[in-house]
Amino acid sequence: MTNQNFTNRGRPSNRVLVTYGVVLAVVILLFLSFAFLQADEYGVVKSYIQPRGYRSEPIGPGLHMIIPFIESVQKYSVARQTYTMSSTTSEGAVQGDDSIQARTKDGQQIFIDASVIYAVDPAQLIKLHITWQNRYEENVVRPVARAAIRDAVSQFGVEEIVSTKRGELETAISTTIKSSLADNNIIMNDFLLRNIRFSDEYAKAVEQKQVAEQQAQQAKFVVESKKQEAEQARQTAQGQADAAVISAKGAAEARLVQADAEAKANDLLSKSLTPTLLQYQYILKLAPGVQTIFVPSGNQFILPLPNTSSATGSTTTP
């Protein structure tokens, strides 16, 4: 025999096989003696030697020693997760239309797309494992969210949801979901009310109402425009009338001033007129250069005119 560790046929001896087997068993045993958890993972150690069947405290990220074949680790992600319920096939956790159907306070049916962002509470991981294990998403997150949405929608009228109270609706849903998930050892980080759709009948009615409101607004605008035009025309006419009154008043006042001036002038003129001046003015109108006028006997005597020229002359009386 050339080598005692091998058979005549070139195969390893039993001792070598046993050695290989022992080394392999040790390696496997060492491998099974440690559990490594990622940074976003926590674990529950299930144990056959613990009275309750598990360790009382969860283990966190890193390398942990366990007893092979007696203990094992159930891993849970504590990272934030998003559960979406949507009418769009490719968006939701469930294929097909997974939107939430709900009825408003006034009986209108609406369809809601929503997302819940949540995470497992590491401090409560043992309780979560006991109650739900890894079924918490479909058995807790989904039904809690859908029930909260339906309940909140029933407290609002459809007009309120459409217009002024969508924010209140979202807050009410978020508060209910957060409380319910906390009761089940899950932390809700955020709630997103992604979309609200209405039945075809209501959507058509809303569209017709919007059209009617737009037409009413247009008619109101036309009426207001006509009112403004009428007011402008009235103001223009009033302005013209006021201008005419002011003009007439000015003309009347001017005429009064003129009449008063004429009266005063006439009064002054009448006071300044004397028989002699009248005769003088009368004579001036007869013929220029006349110095003496003869009148029939028995008529009023006209005095000789004053000398108004440098030439000398004689005056003859009858």
- pLDDT for 271-310, tens place per residue? 776 766 666 666 666 656 666 655 555 555 455 545 544 4
Distance between CA atoms of 260 and 264, rounded to whole angstroms?
6
DSSP assignment of 55-120: -SS-B-SEEEE--TTTEEEEEEE-S-EEEEE-SSTTTSSSSS--PEEEE-TTS-EEEEEEEEEEEE
Q: Is the pTM of this model over 0.75?
A: no
DSSP class of residue 53 equals S
Distance between CA atoms of 279 and 274, rounded to whole angstroms?
9
Domain borders along the chain are 14-77, 81-198, 202-290
Distance between CA atoms of 92 and 96, rounded to whole angstroms?
8
Distance between CA atoms of 13 and 19, rounded to whole angstroms?
10
Of 286, 77, 91, 79, residue with least CA distance to 192: 91
Distance between CA atoms of 217 and 211, rounded to whole angstroms?
10
- pLDDT for 100-132, tens place per residue? 999 999 888 999 999 999 999 999 999 999 999
Distance between CA atoms of 92 and 100, rounded to whole angstroms?
11
- pLDDT for 53-100, tens place per residue? 999 999 999 999 999 889 999 999 999 999 999 998 888 888 888 999
Of 42, 27, 45, 68, residue with least CA distance to 122: 42
* Fold of the domain spanning 81-198: Tetrahydropterin Synthase; Chain A (3.30.479)
